[in-house]
Structure formats: C-alpha cells, structure tokens
Amino acid sequence: MPLTVTQLENGLLVEGVQDFSLSQILDCGQCFTFSKLDSADPLTETWHGTAGGRYLKIAQRQDGALLFYNTSPALFEQFWKSYFDLDTDYAHIKSILSQDSVLAKATQYAPGIRILRQNAWEALCCFIISQNNNIKRIRGIVERLCQSFGEELEHGFFSFPAPAVLAGCCVEDLAPLRCGFRAKYLIDAAQKIHSGEIDLQAIAVMPLAQARSELMKIYGIGPKVADCALLYGFYRLECCPMDVWMKRVFAILYPNGLPDCAKDYIGIAQQYLFHYARTCPQAFEPKQEVLKPTPQEVLKPTPQEVLA
C-alpha cells in the first residue's frame, strides 16, 4: 500500500503505514535516544528524541497514521522515511518468518517492530555502552553523553558528540557519564575513527566478516557489540547479536539453530525474538512450560517408589 503524505500546518501526516508501532520500534532495545511523552489524547502516542543529529517529535494515531511534527516533505523523503525503514515490506518478511511456529508467535506478539536505519557512529557508541548493562541505564548514559559533549538541538535534546570531541577526552573527562569501565572503550573508538584508522564509510561496503573484524580492532568491541553495530548502524540484516537473552532463546527454543525460513532476515528475526524473550518472560521461562509436570506425572510413582 502506498504512503499518503499530507502537509499540515504543524507537520506532515503520513497515512497508509502498515506493520508499524512507534512504541515497539523505539522501545525494543535497538535505540536509546527517544522517549515517550505523556499524552492528553489516549488515542495517540507521542515520542520525541534524536537521530542523525536531528530532533524529531512524532505521534501515531490509533488508526496507525503518523504525524511528523515540524517536518517538511523534503526532510521526510530524505531522512525519516529511510530511518524508519518505511520502504521495506514487513508484512512479506513476517509471512516468511511465520512458517516457523515460534517466530509466528514472536511476530504476532509485537507486529509493529521495524529495524531502524541508524547512524553508524551513534549506534556504535550506544552498543559499546550496552555491554554488561541494562536498557534503562543505557538510556541514561547515552543521554548524559549527548548532554555533556553534543550540541544542543531543541527541547533540551542534544546531538551525539562527534568522534573528534571524544577523541580529545580522557577517562576522567567522561566521569559525568557514570559509564564505568566503558569510558576507555568509547575514547578508543572515537580516536580510531577520528584518526581514520577505522573508516566507517569503508566498513559499510565491506564483506561481513571483514567489516566485523575491522570493528573488533576497537578496544572493547567484541563479537556481540560488532554485530549490534553492523545490524543497527549498517543495516546488515544477516547479523544476529548473541546477548544473554538470545542465548536463552537458542538454548530453550532453537537448540539446532534458527529455521531455514529465517535465513534471509536473521537480524529481523533476532529482533522479534529478543523483544519477545525480554518482555514476555512467561513464554520463555524453562521451569514453567518445560519442566512443570503433567497431572499424570504427578500421580505416577517416582522411580524411587518403583524400586522400593
């Protein structure tokens, strides 16, 4: 279905958007720079935040239509349409993934998830911060990073600091972030990128294995953070970041790996499964579904009783 774009006095109305939920997209662990506004209107939800050095306030009506506040048609076409991945047919992708029963459940649980096309440097910073951390605290550290070293945009929001800014910092300079041992990792990433030793533009067009090993030259970037940067910062859908949640998913639901139907969209499948595992734990806890005895088993004598 084609999008219908209408210019209003306060922004841009975009109708015909399918398979899109603001809260699912912005709160599923791929992005840490948007926050939900308290809305007087229960029929809409409104978020605001930053991406690529731009501030955006955006609302979604209950019928699915989107309102991009203070956004020109040109800016929508050039930036936000791509950022929200609106040219990708998620209905098609979900229909393929749903050939597998678990993925069918995970996609139905949060059918409005999309993979954002984020700025590579910003995603890299966020996922350096993410290691051995929780999403709530990641948001706070990212916010302090931008407030402390970025440039003010609008409404108290700040851009990400450029690599050059962090490259000139020492660990003590980053103390206000309260990011712990990750400060030295951020600085090394900034220095290698600012000096040109690591070229994000070049990584964007490298074969995956080479891109991955290039990112892992940064002190503090291992396989998982590299995969997150590649998936979210470079839109490499063939990456499947393996964090503690996805390790649970594989241990419990996919001991033999993902099914064949996921092979072209592993990164997207990963996002549905990650969100499902993290926010719907009762669907995943091994103890309840897997180990709970059936009524027959409760009545059956134990092996010890049989042997007695």
Nearest residue to 150 via CA among 162, 139, 164: 162
* Euclidean distance between CA atoms 34 and 25, whole angstroms: 10
Residue 90 binding DNA, by CB under 7 A = no
Q: Is 112 in the site for DNA (CB under 7 A)?
A: no
Euclidean distance between CA atoms 145 and 5, whole angstroms: 35
Q: Quick one: 204 or 242, whose CB is closer to DNA?
A: 242
282 binds DNA (CB under 7 A): no
Stretch of 1-9, 18-26, 102-110, 137-145 contacting DNA, by CB under 7 A: 137-145
Radius of gyration of the chain (CA): 22
- Out of 17, 179, 200, 237, which residue is the one contacting DNA (CB under 7 A)? 179
Task: Show the tokens assigned to 51.
Answer: 């991406």
**Which are the contacts of 232, defined by CB distance < 8 A and separation ≥ 6?**
30, 31, 115, 116, 118, 123, 126, 127
Confirm or reject binding of residue 58 to DNA (CB under 7 A).
no
Among 52, 111, 140, 259, binds DNA (CB under 7 A): 140
Q: Please report how close the Cβ of residue 190 comes to DNA at its closest, in angstroms.
A: 15
221 vs 253, beta carbon nearer DNA: 221
* Residue of 33, 130, 159, 191 that binds DNA (CB under 7 A): 130
Dig out the tokens for 148 from the structure: 């402390």
CA distance 256 to 271: 19
State the residues that interact with DNA by CB under 7 A. Answer: 28-30, 127, 130-138, 140, 175, 178-181, 216, 219-226, 228, 241-246, 270-271, 274, 278
